[in-house]
Amino acid sequence: IVPKLEQKSLCLLGLSNPYFQYSSLKCCSCRFYMHIFFSFCLSPGEIVVNEANFVRKCISAENSQDDLWGKLICTNFKVSFIPQDAPPKQVNVWTVLLNHILCMFLSVNDTKGKKKVLGSNQKLKFNPTELILYCKDLRIIRFCFDEAGPESAKKVCLAIAHYSHPADLQLLFGFEYQGRRYHDYKEKRVNGSTPRGGLQTPVFNCSSDWDREIKRTGASGWRVCSINENYDISPSLPEYIVVPGSLADQDLKHYSLFFADKRVPLWCWNHPNGSALVRMASIIDPLQQKKYEQRIFTAITKSHPQRSDVVRSDLDKYLPNIQDIQNAFVKIRQICVIDPFEESEERWLSSIENSRWLEYVRAFLKHSSEIVYQLDGKNASVILQEEEDRDLNCIVSSLVQLMLDPHYRSLVGFQSLVQKEWVMAGHPFLDRCNHLKRNDKEEVHLNVFDHNRVDLIDFPDTLITLSFVSPCSLVQVSTDFAKNKAIPQGEDQVMYFPPVWDWSQQFSTKDLTLFNNPMYVGKGAACVQNGEVKTFRRTKKTYSSTLRGPSGSLRNGLKGGEDTLTRRGSLVSELKPDFSPVKDESPSERFFRDWFARPLDQQGLLIPLLIPSHVALWKLFFLRWVPEACIPKGGPITAYHKLSQLVDEIETLQSQIRQYKGSSSGSTPLTSPSGPPSNQRRMYFKSSSPHDPPTPPDFLTSSFPFTPMGNLCRRSIHGTPISKFLNGARIWLSTENLTNDTV
């Protein structure tokens, strides 16, 4: 029996500033009661705004047998539910960040049973009996106030509505957090500045980051320009930009007057053959368009070693606009997490197709592949043009660089790509994520990779929290906030906001290992050749798709002997099984046919397969919260689990061999070498011992590391066609829909 904890005992547990309560649980084997301690820690600057006791969190949509009772708490940062009277092994604190809440519905106990939307700064004229939170990460969470006091239920609902969509940007928790950190840690500053740690990801807020990127890509004809320092030219551009070396600063200042929002063309990336990828906004004056476009084109041509032509791609003409993408996402979200199974299962594939989501994904991939052909196949520089240069250009430029440059397939490289092409290029995250609820139509979401699917999901989930429309807005709002918080002038630089890539502020060291891909083959990756451990190092020769890769036994990603299978390229309408030339073949078709016929180069060019059957729904993202789609001990995680254990065992053996050989030839080998410490091992799942069971752990599901428990997406599948089929009904399924991915 655990005695009741007192306030002074909290220091022994290492809990600072806890918010806690006790719950009496009846033991199944005796009549004694145990006091269970629930910790609810507050971050610096976080305060409890309102709370309600005796709230019921709904677990199932059909019955209340598994529902949990507890306390619903709203702070200025998150909404948390602390359960009471739950089995000890199931004790958990459910939390959703306030800026992850898309909208909230309230039910009133009347004959109509209608649900009403509660917005920010609205008055509540009735006592709510039910609260449903629809989240931007696709979760749906429901609470009932059957036994809660009507006033406390009303107050906690109003608090959630107010703090989830505040009227002013400075009311977002990030500002309060940073302001509190400044005053709490002021004495820890060194020489008037705050140490920011050894973050590896460049944030491109200084000229040195851009200089390093120019050197890395070999862009000798380009230079870093500082005409936008203090955002003197354009508030939506970074302070430092890369421009053709032949353009003078004075000319660029003059040209900026004719571009939308004064966004002069931005250099994105350079190919080893000298061709460049550039993005720019539209010229607002049609009469001046040809004149200034020609000057820009000429300068880009001079930056190319071979003075190759410049190709312009108008994305507004060839790709869906931002509103089309938003509409498609709303439809796909409705299908995946809201519509009941009995209404959507029989028309699942047609519903997905009618949403046009996969069609738009395919369109972006296809157009990006065409840009790749221009850069890699024709050695031509490409200008991506969009009216405002802040949405479609971000997508296409990122995809092109992922296909061409293996650096961006590493974890740090991918983060730097998003930082460069989205954050610093001025993508309006605040408007698109709709943190301030300005517009109901704004919200939009999104083995050669160092990171895996879990990391890719955490990116859009984390980018939801970005709260600025441009780097300039961050500086302006931070300066205003520093004044309000009495931070002396000149010290407002301490009010820096840590980049989203500082994952240590969000995840533990062990959780961060989930980001690692055990099968990644990249620069510095270890491999075994002739019985010896060697390191794979990429050379410049394998960088371009015009050269063959290292493996002669692979062709187009297929092992030898499998060439009889048809494997089509993204832009080639007809490809014979032997990859032989087709009649009237265009240069682009020949380029892609040649690429698919070459041995696989995992550190070279990547081209996606874009026939409709190859473009599938990202199930782990869209269905991760759907209980009915969760497969116990199934899905890709089972393979990831085994591969991680195998890689961990190999790395442990490698470490032991290195220790045994010693750091130098003259040193004495260790008699019983051990592997690296557990907290320094790269894999989440450690190598198993002979005594471990061969089956995967019980907590592994197809939704891992996410759990759909307590998320109310749909009603049960009982009585639906799939349940009848599982019970032996004679329902024929098309073999065209039975793929390995589905199984």
Mean pLDDT of 42-69: 86
Mean pLDDT of 93-105: 85
Quick: pLDDT tens for 412-445: 999 999 999 998 998 988 788 776 665 554 444 5
* Distance between CA atoms of residues 732 and 30, nearest Å: 53
Across the strands, what pairs with 278?
267, 383
Domain boundaries, the chain: 48-165, 202-320+356-437+449-506
Write down the pLDDT at residue 55: 94
* Distance between CA atoms of residues 153 and 159, nearest Å: 10
pLDDT at position 639 over 80: yes
Write down the pLDDT at residue 177: 73
How confident is residue 121, by pLDDT bands cut at 50, 70 and 90?
confident
Residue 74, token pair as written in the block: 């709203």
Mean pLDDT of 513-538: 58
Residue with tokens 């005053």: 183
Mean pLDDT of 591-603: 86
Main-chain dihedrals φ then ψ at residue 150, nearest 5 degrees: -60, -35
* Distance between CA atoms of residues 442 and 390, nearest Å: 14
* Distance between CA atoms of residues 128 and 121, nearest Å: 16
Best mean pLDDT range from 202-206, 336-340, 544-548, 566-570: 202-206
Mean pLDDT of 220-244: 94
Quick: pLDDT tens for 388-399: 999 999 999 999
* Distance between CA atoms of residues 397 and 383, nearest Å: 10
Quick: pLDDT tens for 5-18: 333 322 222 233 33
What's domain 48-165's architecture? Roll (2.30)
On whether the CB atoms of residues 499 and 462 are closer than 8 A, the answer is: no
Element housing 638 (H / E): helix 636-661
On whether the CB atoms of residues 349 and 317 are closer than 8 A, the answer is: no
DSSP state letter for 190: B
Nearest in space to 174 (alpha carbons), one of 465, 487, 604, 580: 465
On whether the CB atoms of residues 196 and 498 are closer than 8 A, the answer is: yes
On whether the CB atoms of residues 275 and 304 are closer than 8 A, the answer is: yes
Quick: pLDDT tens for 727-740: 444 333 333 333 33
* Distance between CA atoms of residues 617 and 333, nearest Å: 12
Question: How many other β-carbons are positioned within 10 Å of the β-carbon of residue 87?
Answer: 9
Quick: pLDDT tens for 692-712: 777 778 788 888 888 887 776
Element housing 533 (H / E): strand 532-535
Mean pLDDT of 310-332: 94
Write down the pLDDT at residue 488: 65
Quick: pLDDT tens for 262-301: 999 999 999 999 999 999 999 998 888 899 999 999 999 9
Across the strands, what pairs with 244?
222
pLDDT at position 662 over 90: no
pLDDT at position 117 over 50: yes
Give the pairing type, strands 276-281 and 381-386. Answer: parallel
Which amino acid, 201? T
pLDDT at position 23 over 90: no
328-337, 402-411, 672-681: least confident range: 672-681
Within its chain, how far is the Cα of 383 from the centroid? 26
Quick: pLDDT tens for 335-383: 888 776 555 567 888 899 999 999 999 999 999 999 999 999 999 999 9
How confident is residue 678, by pLDDT bands cut at 50, 70 and 90?
confident
pLDDT at position 535 over 60: no
Nearest in space to 326 (alpha carbons), one of 360, 354, 350, 364: 360
* Distance between CA atoms of residues 506 and 95, nearest Å: 13
Nearest in space to 141 (alpha carbons), one of 200, 100, 188, 189: 100
Walk across the sheet containing 381-386 and list its strands: 266-270, 276-281, 381-386, 310-314
* Distance between CA atoms of residues 674 and 669, nearest Å: 12
Which amino acid, 206? C
Quick: pLDDT tens for 141-190: 999 998 998 899 999 999 999 888 887 777 777 777 766 665 555 544 43
Within its chain, how far is the Cα of 276 from the centroid? 27
Mean pLDDT of 191-214: 74
* Distance between CA atoms of residues 543 and 603, nearest Å: 7
Residues 6+ apart with CB under 8 A from 314: 385, 386
3-class SS of residue 715: coil
Residues 6+ apart with CB under 8 A from 691: none
On whether the CB atoms of residues 742 and 735 are closer than 8 A, the answer is: no
